[in-house]
Structure 1
Amino acid sequence: MIRIVVLGTSASMPSKDRTPSCFAVKYDGVFLFDCCEGVQKQMMKHGVSFAQVKCVFLSHLHADHFLGLPGLVQSMNFSGRKEPLYVFGPAGTQKLFETVFAAKELRPHFTLRAFDVGESDKPVFDSRLFSVKAFEVEHSCTALGYSLEEKPFRKFDLEKANAHCVPRSRFSEIQAKNSLKIKNEKTGRTKTVKLDQITFVKPGKKIVYSGDTRPCKNLLKEAQDADLIIHDACFSQEHQQMAVDKKHSTAGEAAEIAKNAGAKKLLITHFSNRYDDITPLLREAQSVFPETTAAEEGMAIMV
């Protein structure tokens, strides 16, 4: 299963109770979506290893979303990191971090590669288990959302395996060979059993991260049938005009996206510091889309 750990939930700047938005996906490594200031402390506090971070996906280049990267790199330096680190973000990302890490005092002791990415049908990252695709969203600067899609995988149907006399002890063998010769102990006859006779293909999970955005058609399209949408909910409907002016979403608007996309679950985040209590935002979203949870730092979600 895919584990998502909430590292930060606030908008623009930290408060005494909240850290700017950041999420860690733990699945064959650690993958950060945005990189809040003090991120390595949040990771240590909430059980996420910064030694295992493989990629950082930045939604945009407002400071609250990337200020943690220089500090994270310094912690990696002190820990003796040798593995490369890949950073993806909108236009300007490569130049920004080439400039930042040109300073001798900040220079990584390992390979760090930053990439400018934009909307494309091709994934910006592709592994054996999942891929990550970027898409444009509507904010006050060039901004991206990301869709993480797990690849379909085969699962064994135990009833069919038993019917074909394939024991669990030989599952790995038939996976490697795609077929097995099985001898019937009663009749003495041998038959060939194919992998697809005793397995089925299970669709992978889909997680969509909105970054900072107004509700937009592009986000709605990419979020179709998502298992989880992590969505900007900076304001309540009471401050809807402020959301429009600042190019953010209200909690109710985030819920409308989840509802119209046919998503299974919604996680709202990026809360304005004007709200000491986010319960009203949660209720606002749940009135539209009941399967809504408000992000809290340290919260872990299994998908």
Structure 2
Amino acid sequence: MQFELQILGSASATPMTGRHPTAQLLAVGEGRYLIDCGEGTQWRLLEHRRRLSSLRVIFISHLHGDHYFGLFGLLGTLHLQGRQEPLLIVGPPGLDLVLTTQAMHSGVQYGFNLTFVPVDTEAHALVYEDALVRVSTLPMRHRVPCCGYLFEEQPRRDRLVKESLPPGLSPAELAQLAQGHDLPANPATGRPALAHAAVSTPAAPPRRYAFCSDTLYTPALAELVRGADLLYHEATFLEELRERAAQTHHSTAAQAAELACAAGVGLLLIGHFSSRYKQLTAHLAEAQAIFPNTELATEGLVVAV
């Protein structure tokens, strides 16, 4: 089953040519989950031929404009396109008031049910679950209430091995095995008891993606994202501006790598780059010196887990 992340925007507060405000799209099976929605996100989705109608849930990390100003345009377009499927928005308290106020003063009455789930940005807690994923908050330390999100794939069923199945099994018996149950002996056919484990191979471990938004370097996060297959962590500055990073409640590329190393993740993506940096080779070198399996979260990048 697909588990794929696409970077739609990797800039920090000030956009620049070729670098857009934060937005990411996570695809898990048929589910599409938008993570942050900076200005112009709907344009980025269209440019990458991603159907706006496929969005299931939108997760917002905090109420700095570069992380949610694109919501107004996106919701308006969904309305104009005739969306009828419900849409869920998960984010910090206050976002619902902002959206309601904007809709009220622009005279918009959405043609679909829009539900808002407020989160406690200081807690690590389950905030959303469906048949494909479980999503929990990750507390960030920023200038305003802010959280990241941990996406965990729901456990998959073991796969039946066709060559190990005895002949003559009924559809009901096959369904029972597929659901992980053992079969009792069948006196009518003379078939002996059949253990599910004897005719299946274990499913791969659930895949995990951790999105760490704007934050001071927070070593305690390592325990919450330990062993994640993929970690995104902001890297607004280089180490030479470590004090500036602390003053603005951001992190450096080296700090992002230190967290990835401590957490033992599979792959680190760094992003949210300050517009002062026209080239990003120094960010990559700084992070890779600590955590070699690091990539830049550049515009349009697709990472399959």
TM-score (normalizing by structure 2): 0.90
SS at match of 1:285: helix
Aligned to 1:91: 93
What is the rounded CA distance, in whole Å, between the counterparts of 1:214 and 1:111 in structure 2? Answer: 36
TM-score by length of 1: 0.90
Shift in Å at residue 152 of structure 1? 1.8
In the alignment, the residues of structure 1 paired with residue 180 and residue 85 of structure 2 have an alpha-carbon distance, to the nearest angstrom, of: 33
User: What is the CA distance between 1:84 and its match in structure 2?
Assistant: 1.2
Label 1:248 to 1:102 Cα distance change in 2 as closer, same or farther (>3 A).
same
Task: Give the structure 1 partner of residue 286 of structure 2.
Answer: 284
Aligned to 2:192, what secondary structure does the other structure show? strand
1:167: Cα distance to partner?
9.5
Distance 1:257 1:129 in 2: 27
Alignment of 1:153-192 (within 5 A): 153-156=156-159, 158=161, 162-165=163-166, 174-176=177-179, 178-179=181-182, 189-192=190-193
Could you tell me how far 1:54 is from its partner in structure 2? 1.2
CA distance 1:293–1:111, change in 2 (3 Å): same
Contact conserved, 1:136 with 1:145, CA < 8 A, in 2?
Answer: yes
Runs of 4+ in 1 over 6 A off after TM superposition: 166-170
Choose from 127, 130, 138 the match for 2:133: 130
1: CA distance between counterparts of 2:73 and 2:196? 48
Q: Which residue of 2 aligns with 1:214?
A: 216
How far does residue 109 in structure 1 lie from its aligned partner after superposition?
2.0
| Alpha-carbon distance change, 167 to 121 in structure 1, aligned in 2, over 3 angstroms | farther
2:60 corresponding residue in structure 1? 58
Q: Does 1:48 align with 2:47?
A: no
Deviates more, 1:43-52 or 1:98-107: 98-107
Q: Give the C-alpha shift of residue 221 in structure 1.
A: 2.1
For residues 240 and 106 of structure 1, the distance between their equivalents in structure 2, rounded to whole angstroms, comes to 44
SS, match of residue 190 in structure 1: coil
1:115 CA drift (Å):
2.2
Could you tell me whether the CA contact under 8 Å between 1:88 and 1:117 is conserved in 2? yes
Gaps of 5+ in 2: none
Contact 1:22 1:32 in 2 (8 A): yes
- Residues 230 and 9 of structure 1: CA distance in aligned 2, closer, same or farther (over 3 Å): same
Cα distance, 1:228 vs. partner? 0.6
Partner Cα separation in structure 2 for residue 222 and residue 116 of structure 1: 21
Q: Which runs of 5+ in 1 are unaligned?
A: none
CA distance in structure 1 between the partners assigned to 2:99 and 2:197 by the alignment: 48
CA distance in 1, matches of 2:157, 2:76: 41
State the partner residue of 2:5.
4
Give 1:128 shift.
1.1
**Cα contact 1:57–1:89 (8 A) shared by 2:** yes
Q: Give the partner amino acid of 1:144.
A: C
Q: Tell me if 1:110 matches 2:115.
A: no
Deviates more, 1:172-181 or 1:247-256: 172-181
- Separation in 2 of the partners of 1:180 and 1:41? 53
Identity %: 31
